Chains A and B, each alone.
Chain A
Amino acid sequence: MARIKAMLKTTAVRLSLLYLLLFVVSATALLFYISAQSERAIRGQTERAIEREVRAINNTYRRSGVNGLVRQIERRSRQPGSNLYIIASPNGEIFAGNVAEIQPGIFDQNGDIKVPFKYKRFGDFDAEYTALAHVMELPNGFKLLVGRDLAEPDRFNNLIERALMSALAIMGLGALAIWFFVGRSALKRIDRMSAASEKIMAGDLSQRLPVMGSGDEFDRMSTSLNTMLGRIEQLNEGLRQVSDNIAHDLKTPLTRLRNRAESTLASKATAKDYRAALEDMISESDQLIRIFSALLMISRVEAGSAAAKLSDLDLSAVALDAAELYEPVAEDADVKLITEIDKDITISGNRELIGQTLSNLMDNAIKYSSLEEKTRKDANIWVKLKAENDEIVLSVADNGPGIPKDKYDEVTKRFVRLDKSRNKPGTGLGLSLVDAVMRMHRGELELSATDDQQEDLPGLTVSLKFPVKT
């Protein structure tokens, strides 16, 4: 019962009900029209038959008078058929003919009787028949009625009506059946979809909506919802990973912070010791704040809320500024900073974010090409900007130890640091931010080795590919 109720609520069922109603109304109108038309045609035929009879009888009357007429009537009356013949006296009494009794008042009229009247036949007094007739007055005051029984045409009419009715009934039943099955199958698919959604809502994000492969509306909807679910699952997975990482990455500095405070309190510390401990704790908290800000920044960039802040940007100037900012840092670290920056390259971008991106990359490049090999003399980093055919490539390269090729994907994930001991400064968020910034600029982040020939120090080139401004 509940199912039927639910079915009645479906759009398919409502539409079919509406169509059914329209169909019934127009079919009924058609039924009336057709039967009225056929009745009229048959009436006309009957009337014409009567007319012919009247003409023939009139001729006989003109040729051989009343006697001839009576004879002919009697002869005709004996013939089987559906014709009625009556000769009646001026007061309406039946004088001759093949009718036993007739609806009174018929002989008061003259000419065509267009309204069917009732009569009874000889030997069949219980049944009433209907007929149409023509009445005329003979010169001697007698009346002659020539008529035609309507049983035959009525039967024909009934036949047509019945045929139409049953056709309608069959069509109606068919419509009901189709509606039922279509509605039910639509309902079933929706049921399956809502069952899947319920599982998803219960937390099973790996569930997908069923796709039948027919390519219909349901399939298209399921497919796009599935794509959406895939994206949600991916984001959720990212989120879960991030929160695991946050828990881990923040626990370490927080523990250190706490231990430092506790051990200082427990020891017989001098004012100087306290001061040192507090300063340590401040720098430890600064690192925590840095991690938080980086996370916040990434999520903001990813949420795309800064997307509106893209404007025409002189990328050459941004690259030069960043290089200039880091040049002394590189020099202090004994790293040579080489710039190959083409002039006047503009993109649609955000100076602040790209500046931060470059800052992250140069920071990494200097850190990894200098720290690893204190003794080397030829540590270089390159900052290049070039407009190629259909893209603008800004790259930061170093000739440090690089990273294994199979880790390229991994390093852009949040908190992933290939250096498991995590003893180099950094949040592990730098490349994630770069990745997010590039996605916001509809660009790409690409990692490659700077020089494959160098086995020990292949280096790392990070290329930022921006779409050409349109």
Chain B
Amino acid sequence: MKILIIEDDLETAAYLTKAFREAGLNVDHASDGDSGYFLATENTYDVMVVDRMLPKRDGLSIISSLRDQGNETPVLILSALGQVDDRVTGLRAGGDDYLTKPYAFSELLARVEILGRRKGTRDTETVYRVGDLELDRLSHEVRRGGQVINLQPREYSLLEYLMNNAGQVVTRTMLLENVWDYHFDPQTNVIDVHISRLRSKIEKGFEGSLLHTIRGAGYILKASEN
């Protein structure tokens, strides 16, 4: 995956570049708005990570210009401002995701990877399958090994999101944003509790675990290798 980071703080940029490379991503970096816009129009990227406040040209204007030209590369906006309406203006300008500083790198990586895979989105599929787990998006039915599993509506949405991003790390914040539509940090382990409930429903009495916890990052839904 090839990504472009437009970030004016050189130390942050160096850290991000190094960390993304270690995660196996191909990284370009621009340190101001103009050169960032230039790179974005010259090359093709899978994801762009754009700081909102940049010298020469601000992040939102870069995104709107790219969108006006029909460039649909997924963009994650990084911002030091974390207000609700900041998020809204950011997303309205054409951003696909929004992350407020300070953030954990694992959070950023998980989001970038999901944005990068979104190209081959599973949104059009009517049935999600992970191993022997099936989720029918039309009948809202969940089966494992042919056996129906009864889920609460919220558990269903949680599983749907996890299956849509199967094989990807999803963070607690991402779940809270996408399943509950909350953008704050609830301080306790609310998500963990919901996950463990879901986990016991889809794993108890079945062979092989599907929903794995990644320490310090989040969760991943994938079929066991064996």
Contact = CB atoms under 8 A, between A and B. Distances in A.
Interface residues of A, number: 33
A297 B180 CA distance: 20
A328 B84 contact: no
A324 B82 CA distance: 26
Contact of A329 (B102, B184, B185, B193): B193
- In the A-B complex, the 6 residue pairs with the closest CB atoms: A328-B193, A356-B184, A359-B186, A329-B193, A352-B84, A289-B102
Given A328-B197, A332-B193, A306 B186 contact: no
B55 to A, nearest CB: 24
Nearest to B102: A289
Interface in B177-201: 180, 182-190, 193-194, 197
A81 to B, nearest CB: 103
A230 interface: no
B85 A328 contact: no
Given A282-B216, A289-B102, A293-B82, A352 B187 contact: no
A324 B216 contact: no
Contact of A286 (B82, B104, B154, B189): B104
A325 B191 CA distance: 8
Contact of A363 (B102, B182, B186, B197): B186
A26 to B, nearest CB: 63
Interface residues of B, number: 23
B82 A329 contact: no
B201 to A, nearest CB: 12
B83 interface: yes
Given A286-B104, A350-B84, A355 B184 contact: yes
A305 B86 CA distance: 11
A442 interface: no
SS of A interface (majority): helix
Nearest to A287: B187
Contacts of B104: 282, 286
Nearest to A352: B84
A309 interface: yes
Interface string B77-108: 00000111100000000000000101010000
Nearest to A289: B102
A304 B215 CA distance: 38
A326 interface: yes
B147 to A, nearest CB: 23
Contacts of A325: 180, 182, 186, 190, 194
Given A309-B84, A352-B84, A290 B216 contact: no
Nearest to B188: A363
Interface in A287-306: 289-290, 292-293, 296-297, 300, 305-306
